[in-house]
Amino acid sequence: MLINVIFLENKKIVKVKKGFFINYLLPKKKAIIFNKKNDLLLKKNLRNKIIEKNVDFDNDNINCEKINKTILFFELKKTKNEKIFGSIREKEILNKLKELKIFLKKKQLINFFPINKLGEKILEIRLSNNLIANLKIIIK
């Protein structure tokens, strides 16, 4: 027996066998049964997500301006021979930004490697698909 289901990942309506739906798709929360109630809920959720994306876009623009104007200062430890000891990692950068009320995730830092050299570094941060901010970091 075939039933209509909505795949939650791509929002497509597909006919599948009832056993496949009950034993695999439903427990893994990959699909729901297609009926009027679920269809309306899905359309309402899509509308809400579009509105949320627009709000997020405005917040990303504000964060982009903040980040582009921000300069973070770090100091690395040195040995007696003036050799640099240690490095600046994602965690330290994210914590400093958090103090400035800029909340980011580790995966938003583009091509980040621990910084272990003195001087300036420009770090690219992806705020959305089309929006990249540049953060200036100075290490002494």
Which of 66, 60, 71, 115 is CA-nearest to residue 90?
A: 115
Q: How many domains does the chain have?
A: 2
Domain housing 130: 57-139
The SS3 call for residue 83 is coil
Please give the pLDDT value at position 57.
Answer: 54
Looking at every residue in the chain, the average pLDDT score rounds to: 83
More confident: 73 or 29: 73
Same domain, 51 and 63: no
Same domain, 65 and 133: yes
The answer to whether the beta carbons of residues 116 and 92 sit under 8 Å apart is: no
Same domain, 68 and 41: no
